[in-house]
Structure 1
Amino acid sequence: MLMTLAHAKLILSPMELQVRLQPAGTVLTVLAEDLRLIASANLLVANVGAVSWQMPLENAEQLQQIADFYGIAAETR
């Protein structure tokens, strides 16, 4: 599945999520099991061992699409 945001493209596959930041072209990757979603901030959080990164989403619909695709519940903290 492909999602296009103003500042990135998200490529969702069953095992991982790939983020291609634009215009820099930087690629961030996270396995589905290391992915968290924070609903109150529309935030995607990746904890990959010693490396962590976060990316704001544009709206709650995008967050819900990712949650549905991976079958994970968004946290509401």
Structure 2
Amino acid sequence: MVVEFSGGRVIVSPQEVLVKLATGVSLYAMVDDLRLLSAGNIMVADAGAVRWHLTLDDETQLADIAECLGIDIG
């Protein structure tokens, strides 16, 4: 599934997420390293030594990603 947002797009599969930003930067995370936060529509990846977060445009995008990944929004 692909979710378009103002900064680029999020490509979601059941096991992983790839974020391609409009600037050319790509961010990658396995689903076990992701958290979705409703306060601010934020996707957080924390794999220990590597951490990043992404603010989505709205709660619909967050809900679509949560459904595809099968994880809860906190």
TM range (shorter): over 0.9
Return the TM-score normalized by structure 1: 0.91
Report the counterpart of residue 8 of structure 2 in structure 1: 8
- Aligned-residue offset at 1:25: 0.8
Aligned residues: 74
Return the TM-score normalized by structure 2: 0.94
1:45 aligned counterpart, secondary structure:
strand
Please tell me the residue identity of whatever aligns with 1:31: M
Alpha-carbon distance in structure 2 between the residues aligned to 1:18 and 1:33: 14
Please tell me the residue identity of whatever aligns with 2:18: Q
Alpha-carbon distance in structure 2 between the residues aligned to 1:65 and 1:73: 11
2:57 aligned counterpart, secondary structure:
coil
Moved over 2 A (4+): none
Report the counterpart of residue 40 of structure 1 in structure 2: 39
Alpha-carbon distance in structure 2 between the residues aligned to 1:12 and 1:73: 15
What is the Cα-based RMSD across aligned positions, in Å?
0.8
The percent identity for this pair of structures is: 36
Alpha-carbon distance in structure 1 between the residues aligned to 2:40 and 2:32: 20
Alpha-carbon distance in structure 2 between the residues aligned to 1:72 and 1:14: 10
Gaps of 5+ in 1: none
Report Cα offsets for 1:28-52 as digits up to 9, x if no partner. Answer: 0000111100011110000022111
Report the counterpart of residue 55 of structure 1 in structure 2: 54
With a CA cutoff of 8 Å and minimum separation of 6, indicate the structure with the bigger relative contact order.
2
Please tell me the residue identity of whatever aligns with 2:4: T
